[in-house]
Structure formats: C-alpha cells, structure tokens
Chain A
Amino acid sequence: MADASKDSSVYYVPHSGWYPVVLAFGVMLMLTGFGAWLNATRAGEPASWTQTIIGFGIVALVLYFWYAKVIAENQEGLANAVLKRSYVWGMGWFIFSEVMFFAAFFGALFYVRVLAVSWIGGDGAKALTGEYLWPEFEPAWPVVANPDPGLFPNPGESMAAPRFSDVGSWLSYLPLWNTIILITSSFTVHIAHLAIKEKNRQKLITWLGITVVLGIVFLILQVEEYVVAYQDMGLTLGSGIYGSTFFILTGFHGFHVTLGTIILLVQFFRSLKDHFQPEDCFGFEAASWYWHFVDVVWVGLFIFVYVI
C-alpha cells in the first residue's frame, strides 16, 4: 500500500464514490432554488430560501467529506508523486480559469470606458447616435450622469480616488487601506509558508492566523464601503454603467476573498493538527497561490476601478 508513494512507476486510482454525483445534485438543487427565488422576487410573489439552503448545505457537506477523504488518503501515503503533480497542475490551471473570469469583467469595463460611453455621446462615426438617442448626454468617466436618468438614476458621486497631491484625502481613502491590507496579507502568508519549510509550527500558526485576520478585516472594510455607497453616496447596482462595473468587479473580488479566507482558515485548522511537512504541504501552497491571485486581482481593481 505504502509503496505507491515511493515507487513513482505505480499509479494510484481512487475508489469509486458517491461524492461527485451527490455534489452535482446539490448544485442543481441550490441553483434551481435560487432561480425560483429570483423569479418570484421579480414578480413580487412570496419567495422562499428553503431549497437554496438545502442545496447549499448538501454542497458544503460533500465538499467537507471530499476534502477530508483526500487529506486522509494523503496521510495514509496513497497519494504518490504523480498524483501530487496532478494536483499542482490542476490548481494552477484552475487559477488561470479564474483569471479569465475576471478578464470578462475587466474587458467589459475597458470596452464601455474607452468605446461605448463616448459612442453614446456621439463620438467618431456615431454622431447621429448621439443626436437621436440622448442629445443631453455628456460622455465622461466615471459616468455620474446617465443617458436616461429616468430608467437608471444617477449615482450621487463615484468612488474615484482623490488627486495625487491631496495627501490628506488619501489617508482617509478606504480603498488605499484595503490595498495595504491585502498586499500585507500576501507577505504574511508567505512568511507562514517559510515557517513550514523551517518546520516551525508555532510561527506557521501565528502568521497564517494573522493572514486570516487581515482577510476578514478587508471584508469588513469592503462591506463598510458598500454601506457608504448605498446609503450616503447613492451609488448602487442600478445607477448606470459606473455602478454596474464597480459592483460586479469589487463584488466578485470580495466573493473570491471570502472563499480564499475560508480556504486559509481550513489550512489554519490543519496546521493546528500538524498536517504540513516541508516536503508535503500542497494544501497550504494551493491556498497560498489562491490568496496571491485574489491579491493581484485587487491591485488591478485598485488601478483601473479606483485610481485611473
């Protein structure tokens, strides 16, 4: 049994199991429930969360059992070098697919900023478009005056960063602090990785714990920013293309930070149980890669959504 881990010419093929098919069923239950909720809400009918929650519960439970099983198999020595390399390839290309998911939203942002908004205003060959549709519309970014404010109410103000010279405003600019927090957390998670390599478990637990706390602080500040946007600034999902791109980009990023924080938290509990060895810690490394990925996305967001 244990020879599988030493002899790289022997492959390990896992047992058949019920996790995948039940997971697929749970996802279906969750999404149809959520779809029904959305449709009922839009129609103004009473809507129920029950099915969505049951579906989500199934998904969460199966994922828990699944990962527990993979971890247990690894500790029994069943996972050989080939399988471990497959995990590395798998995680790397999964992150690539996530990059492409964000690329769709960044692409949408660039397209409307550079092309669509000025075309609605009558730029270039689109003079007649501008003249016939909304002659009052003045193209600018951020779009704080929408083409049709009757359908899409104007945002009160945008999240755009203050002037570079205005140091005082920068100090009270929340996204800057969020940037600092996330970049710091990328360093702390790296220190935790070094701690594994040094076989220093206490150091690992400390720095991984700090990383998780930084992730949670980031999320709290992000919620605070949304509250300010909705309550004080009048900036909502419904306030035209600026609000649309702002919330979809920061929202999906925040969702990924949430996932990343949960993944790091799992690694935190695993480090309490002393699961990681210098030469065998891919669970931690995958979580750390994911964390660096959400950090890089945030830097892109900070530059293109807030600053420029």
Chain B
Amino acid sequence: MSEATLDQVTDHHDDHHDHGPAKGLSRWLFTTNHKDIGTLYLWFSFLMLMVGGLLALIIRTELFQPGLQFINPEFFNQMTTNHGLIMVFGAIMPAFVGLANWLLPMQVGAPDMALPRMNNLSFWILPFAFGMMIATLFMEGGGPNFGWTFYAPLSTTYAPDSVTYFIFAVHMMGASSIMGSINIIATILNMRAPGMTLMKMPMFVWTWLITAYLLLAVMPVLAGAVTMMLFDIHFDTSFFNAAGGGDPVLFQHIFWFFGHPEVYIMILPAFGVISHVIPAFARKQLFGYDSMVYAVASIAFLSFIVWAHHMFTVGMPLAGQLFFMYSTMLIAVPTGVKVFNWISTMWRGSMTFETPMLFAIAFVVLFTIGGFSGLMLAITPADYQYHDTYFVVAHFHYVLVPGALFSIYAAVYFWFPKWTGRMYNESLGKLHFWLSFIGVNITFFPQHFSGLAGMPRRIPDYALQFADFNMLSSIGAFIFGFAQVFFLYVLIHGIRAGKKAEARAWDGAHGLEWTLPSPAPYHSFTHPPVVTEEEAHT
C-alpha cells in the first residue's frame, strides 16, 4: 500500500510543480513541508534545551556550596528567570509542536498540515522571539530577573528596561502558539482519512487536539497580561498598582489563569506519547482507550478552574482557598485513571525494554511522584509551609523533566526509525537513559527534603544545614547535563551509522505512520489511506 501511495504522490505533483525538498538553506527557510518544519522545531528545542541547561548548571554551580562564590545575586536572578522561560517556551513546548508536525499528518492519513505556509510562520517567529529575549541578558541593566512567572510589580515598577523586549518576545511566542494550534485543530478535524472517526484516533492525536484548545484559550490571556504590564510601564496605567486602584494580585490571577493550563499544555502531549510507547513494547492494545480520552478531556477542563492554588499565601478569601483546594484535588482522579491504564496495559504483556520503553516506564513512575507532591501542595494549610520552597521546585521538576522531557525522549527514540530510516544504537540509547534517570533523581529528589526543611527557592545563598542536599543536587545536575550532551552523540551516531530500519520498525507498533516506508516519503499521504482495524487505536 505504501508503494502505491508513493506513486500517486509523484503522479499528482508532476503535472504542476516539483515537490521534492529544495536544496541548501532555502529548503529550511522557505519550507511548507510538515516534516521539515517538525525537524526545525525539534532541533530548535534541542538548542534551547542546551541553552536553558547551561543556565541551570550556572545556578547549580553557585549553589554547590553555601555562600556567594561565582556570580552575584542580580545575575543569579536572571539565570533562574531565563532558565524557566527558555525551558518552558523554548524547549518543551516547541519540542511537542515538532512532534505534532512530524506525526499528526502521518497518524491521521494526511499529506501535510492543513495550513502549511502558516506552519512555517509559526516556526520562524520563534528564533526571532528567543533571539530578542536572550539578547536582553546582554543589555544595560540586564535581562528579566523577576522569575519565570514575572509577577508585578517586580516585572513592572522594579523591572530592568529590557523588560519591554521581553514583553514583545512573549507576544511573538504567543502568536506562534496560536497559529500552531489553529493549524493542528484544522489538521485533526478536517484531514483525517475516511473511516478514522474521532474515537479511532491515536492517543497522541487526541491529546494534541485537546492541548491545541488549551493553547487557544490561554495564550491570548497571557498576551493580555503582558500588554497590561507594557501599559503599566510605559503608559502610566495602574492595573497592578494599588495606589491607582489596581491590584498586584490581579496579575497573579491572570498569569495563573494562563499558567495552570500551560503546565497541562506541557504534559498532555506527553500522555499521548506514553500511550503509544507502552502498548508497542507491551505488545498489547492500550487498556481503556475511551477512558483515556475522557480523562484527558477532564484534566483539560479542570485546568481552567484550579489556577489560584499557586497563590494560596497571597491573601485570598477562605471560600476561594477551599474551592481551589478541592478542585485541584479532583485532578488526581482522571490522572489516576491514566496511570492505572498504563500499568494495566503492561499487565501480562510480553514486554521488552528498549530505550523508548525505559523512558516511558520511568515517566510513569517519576511523573507519579511529581503528581503526589502536587497533591501535597494542593492542601492549603500545608501549602502555607511549602510555598516558595525547594519542595515546589522538586515538584514541578519531577513533572517536567522525568515527565515531559522523558516523554519527548521516548518519542524521539520510538519514531527515530520512521524519521531517519535508521535505528539508533540500542546500547548508546540505554546508556543515555540510565545516566538521565540517575542524574535526574540525584538532582531533584534531595530538593524535596531541603524544601520541607524550609529552604526558599530563587535564592543564591542558603543556610549551612542545606549544604549536603545542595551539593548532591549539583552533582546530579552535572550528570544529567552530561547525559543530554551525550544524547546529541547518540542522535548523530544513529543518523550516520545506524542500521536500516523497516517500515514497521517495532513489531508491536500500530498506527498509519508505520504503514509508510522508513524514512517516510516527503509527502505522507496524497490520497487518503484506508484505516484498517489493525491500525486503528480502538
């Protein structure tokens, strides 16, 4: 079937224009091809992972011992701020959009994304936006130093001048995300192959559809928040200044109305990836497909009514605290459904443990740890103690690093043969996994303890009793950092010297993408394929 598809691609395009990849740089600058754009997104996010990781290592170097050794506190603030911003907006989000670009058209049986030129624009905005944001670090007065949550008035009244460029960079990233989501929604709803009903869509497609709606709903709100900042700074308004009748807490409400769905934007596609990898290596169908879909939808809905659990100590009315505590705890129910289903999928499966599966299993275990610490933080009176400590840092790094990032690694190893036509080296991949797994736990597990003991986050110096935990954390961070540079070697080794991959590179993998040859043809499906029972995810 794949051979026939290839012929049709050629036939159809010969009559008006050539559709092979262009040569040289112009291929990447001007491309409208979903695979090229996916590749751009993925390499860009890897570059940002390296930059953000470098900032993290600067932080961990300073925190290796108590006292101020290497950098001054002002610079430290810029490091924590930009580490967060770059990792969230530059590494994790673009990586998932890159995966969406590569996979969605193949998984729904389409030739490309629905709006290919806008797809190119969505990507090319990002290098300019991040160029602007990173350039602020070298400006007079320094770059953003107010934390990745940029709370007013730190980000307005007391901000460095460069905040203006930061605001515009956020506007540009938001525009990129909105166009990307519109494209993804149009692709999924409009370009599915005949026979692929909504409840037959692969889980990655489902999770991205819901994520795209989250992005559409909250990125404009973020744009509104930074716009109000811009007006407070340059046009004398008083949105976040109580002296004029505004309220700094208003900023926090608007920010977290964006911010909480944002953290699910970074984890829902991860759920989708894991729901592909575990069935493939357990050689069983995904357990409870329907409940997985409903669970993702429930989590997405709940994400809109829990935002103020980030603000329990800000001085909210008691009724508000109770509402946000209980609504937050509700999220554990659909999340528990998902974890249960992943484990049930593995139950009595004929499992093998290739690198993607290792990352997926680590995801299930370590993400659950992050989920449990989230439940602890959801308890309002307990949060009074944990708020702004390293416990929070440990919590969100557990859901983002061995959560979101590990799922991206699982996806890269899993679909690597489909993208490149070659297999990565299994031993190198496993080495990358174990270094990452050990590194990430040494880095972040001790932070639970220093946080519970009261060590505040975002501080370049600390009391002596936290010295051991911090030294351990820093050692783990360097192991983890080294592992990610090593990952680059694994990739290049695989692309250059890997063994040729078959169309269905993993014997347990199902889905339309595995019916295409490896590497996949430049245009996936010019004529809609037939969705067979075997490839449908029911």
Contact = CB atoms under 8 A, between A and B. Distances in A.
Interface stretch (B48-56, B125-133, B370-378, B400-408): B125-133
A9 B508 CA distance: 30
B239 A100 contact: no
Given A27-B125, A28-B131, A86-B186, A111 B253 contact: yes
B216 A112 contact: no
**Which of the listed residues B29, B128, B186, B246 has the most CB atoms from chain A within 10 Å of its own CB?**
B246
Interface in B192-249: 216-221, 223-225, 227-228, 231, 233-239, 241-247, 249
Interface stretch (B70-78, B94-102, B160-168, B274-282): B160-168
A248 interface: yes
Contacts of B493: none
A42 B527 CA distance: 58
B168 A34 contact: yes
A93 B184 CA distance: 11
B242 A147 contact: yes
A119 B185 CA distance: 42
**Which of the listed residues B32, B121, B242, B523 has the most CB atoms from chain A within 10 Å of its own CB?**
B242
Interface stretch (A156-164, A205-213, A233-241, A293-301): A233-241
B111 A13 contact: yes
Contacts of B247: 111-112, 115-116, 119-120
Given A19-B117, A35-B165, A117-B245, A86 B190 contact: yes
A116 B249 contact: yes
Interface in A13-58: 13-21, 23-25, 27-28, 31-32, 34-35, 38-39, 41-43
Contact of B30 (A9, A16, A99): A16
B243 A146 contact: yes
Contacts of B15: 1
A236 B112 CA distance: 50
Contacts of A24: 121, 124-125, 128
B120 interface: yes
B521 to A, nearest CB: 13
A238 B159 CA distance: 19
Interface string B128-150: 11011000000000000000000
A89 interface: yes
A245 B19 CA distance: 51
A243 B241 CA distance: 13
B173 to A, nearest CB: 12
Contacts of B181: 93
B261 to A, nearest CB: 11
A104 B239 contact: no
B115 interface: yes
B171 interface: yes
Given A20-B120, A100-B221, A101-B223, A11 B526 contact: yes
B117 A66 contact: yes
Contact of A241 (B121, B161, B238): B238
Contact of B12 (A10, A16, A117): A10
B159 to A, nearest CB: 11
Contacts of A116: 242, 245-247, 249-250
A180 interface: no
Range of interface residues on A (Cβ < 8 Å): 35 or more
Interface in B55-89: none
Given A10-B12, A248-B228, A108 B250 contact: yes
Given A24-B128, A97-B178, A147-B242, A13 B16 contact: no
A107 B217 CA distance: 14
Given A17-B30, A89-B186, A147-B245, A11 B128 contact: no
Given A13-B19, A104-B225, A28 B132 contact: yes
Nearest to A78: B16
A269 B115 CA distance: 25
Interface string A100-129: 111111011001100111011000111000
Given A90-B182, A241-B239, A248 B231 contact: yes
B161 A39 contact: yes
A28 B167 CA distance: 12
A98 interface: yes
A187 interface: no
Interface of A: 1, 9-11, 13-21, 23-25, 27-28, 31-32, 34-35, 38-39, 41-43, 66, 82-83, 85-87, 89-90, 93-94, 96-105, 107-108, 111-112, 115-117, 119-120, 124-126, 133-134, 143, 146-148, 151-152, 236-238, 240-245, 247-248, 252
Interface of B: 12, 15-17, 19, 22, 26-27, 29-33, 110-112, 114-118, 120-121, 124-125, 128-129, 131-132, 161, 164-165, 167-168, 171-172, 175, 178, 181-183, 185-187, 189-191, 216-221, 223-225, 227-228, 231, 233-239, 241-247, 249-250, 253-254, 257, 315, 317, 523, 526-528
Given A27-B125, A147-B243, 6 more contacts: A11-B112, A42-B234, A96-B216, A108-B239, A116-B246, A241-B246
13 contacts: A1-B15, A19-B117, A31-B171, A32-B168, A86-B187, A90-B114, A90-B118, A96-B216, A97-B178, A97-B182, A108-B239, A125-B317, A248-B227
A-B pairs, top 10 by smallest CB distance, nearest first, are A104-B224, A238-B236, A241-B245, A152-B244, A20-B121, A244-B237, A101-B220, A116-B247, A148-B243, A28-B128
